[in-house]
Amino acid sequence: MPVNLSVFEDFNTIDGIKIGTTNAGVKQTSRPDIVVFELADTATTAGIFTENAFCAAPVQISKHHLANAQTRYLIINTGNANAGTGAGGYEDAIEICQAVAQAKGVALEQVLPFSTGVIGERLPMGKILPAIPKALEQTQANIWYDASRGIMTTDTQPKGTSTQFEFDGQTISISGISKGAGMIKPNMATMLGFIATDAPVAKDILQEICSELGNKSFNRISIDGDTSTNDSCMLIASGCAKVEKLVNKQQPLYAVLKAELEKVFLYLAHAIVRDGEGATKFVAIDVCHCENSKEALRIAYTVAHSPLVKTALFASDANWGRILAAVGRSGVRDMNVDAINIYLDDVCIVEKGARAESYTEEAGAAVMKQSELCVRIDMGRGEAGETVWTTDLSHDYVSINADYRS
């Protein structure tokens, strides 16, 4: 079961965006597995993608199309990642784009494809191509919830959120969905994210916002330390809200819109961690007083990826020596262990590099039994800090991934 994560269904409509879903039977038949987004001709689109060298064919194509044309359609399939499929997989993804483009009378480059699922297998084109017209025929203004179900793979529940705010006498809406539960580690994770607002935003500004917020959210989560081949997060501005178009960061709308979008990005990223495969705990690794951000992240990820730390979290075992050892092997140069303090929430477990005199096993165990907790590591060497969100490592994680292809 997800860690303190409820299903969200009450999405705000985003004027200028329609969504269609259907089931092609790629891997399952119980929910949609094809999702299409139809964007108004006023829309701008931005995106960030996986840094895996084996990035999937749809990632390669989406990056190229996004850079060279105004996006009008997004099409997503689940159940098959179309990664590690060579030239044939690339041709399959192009054929899917062509099917959408021809059906709707747009250019090929105006269609972005996305896939998620098993790596190394060709797409079942005989199932997907006939399903595309069905999805396109059923586009509606507000079926975000159906779309959130349609992009799931090993997720136990759909993930989404929505918000509105007032600006210059107008209501501006934001809605977003994400998927992901395993193979989660920047940059980015086995995840897809689709976030949209009706605000009018220039493409360069939108890309800057997407990159910065993605780095603070989806690039700060880790479940198992594996970077996927298919990660994509798209930010869409339909341009239908009746406010002045955002074209520079000095405009009042910039700070307000960015702050509201940040809440959505963080919620969707945290939802992925909360629904991590086999997860029983939602854990923040907060590293502070470092020389720079890179150093803080290096320490945070070393702790977050440690199987020994993660299994101790699952067992609710306050085995603080595992955390200490992970910090020590993080590769930070000239580390002064005598300056380091470590906390479980507000319980100090390590003070000046050794077990805190005030620490008791009972106090540590009480924190470790919580479904949500923070491991705070104070390095005592600078002003920089970063937070990474992760999970424990349970028996169920092994079972889910051992049986993934069966």
Catalytic residues: 190
Give the whole-angstrom CA distance, residue 151 versus residue 179: 6
3-state secondary structure of 17: strand
Query: Which of 248, 397, 249, 224 has the alpha carbon at shortest distance from 309?
Result: 224
Query: Which of 57, 50, 134, 55 has the alpha carbon at shortest distance from 88?
Result: 57
> From edge to edge, which strands make up the β-sheet containing 73-80?
17-22, 34-39, 73-80, 111-118
Give the whole-angstrom CA distance, residue 376 versus residue 110: 45
Task: Map 268-325 to HEC letters.
Answer: HHHHHHHCCCCCCCEEEEEEEEECCHHHHHHHHHHHHHCHHHHHHHHCCCCCHHHHHH
Q: How many CA atoms lie within 13 A of 93 on its CB side?
A: 33
Residue 76's φ and ψ, nearest 5 degrees, are -125, 135
Which residues have C-beta within 8 Å of that of residue 90, sequence separation ≥ 6?
Answer: 57, 60, 61
Residue at token pair 């540590």: 364
